[in-house]
Amino acid sequence: MWDNLFSSVDLLKKGLDVTWLRNQVIANNIANVDTPGFKSSEVEFEDFMTAALKSDDESKLELRKTHSRHIDGSSINVKDILDIEPKVVRKVSTSVRLDDNNVDIETEMVALAKNQIEYYALVNRINSEFEKLNTAINIK
């Protein structure tokens, strides 16, 4: 029971780690917008996570149903999901300008804004998890 107490927080932390890495990659792309020959990079993670969630591995744990009115759940192995690592990929096949730089500043700024929204949403969700735990501990 206690080993799964923070499994949702662990998943949210994984999301925070990925958005932090993505922020660093986008910031590097923006910083090199005027560097001749620079090729931008991006972080790939969501496709890996989707594939892990859709895989039919028999080693996954079944969600336990303790009441007849509980919803049946699919099997999820949190440990496998936490083992998924993001991958930074350099985009070398494109070129936006004549100096072989492929950084499009508008695209990068949109990606940065989207990533910041995702990061703060994950932070809020983690705060919510700890507030629930705090409430449960302090109930009199």
Are the beta carbons of 57 and 77 closer than 8 angstroms? yes
Q: What is the pLDDT of residues 11-31, one digit of tens each?
A: 899 999 999 999 999 999 999
Domain boundaries of the chain, sorted by first residue: 7-63+73-138
Q: b or e along 102-137 (b: 16 or more beta carbons within 10 Å of the residue's beta carbon)?
A: bbbeeebeebbeebeebbeebeeebeeeeeeeeeee
DSSP codes of every residue in 50-71: HHHHH---TTSPPPP--STTSP
The span from the CA of 13 to the CA of 100, in Å, is: 37
List the structure tokens of 122. 């994950």
Instruction: Answer whether 0.85 is exceeded by the pTM.
Output: no
Grade residue 124 by pLDDT with cuts at 50, 70 and 90.
Answer: very high
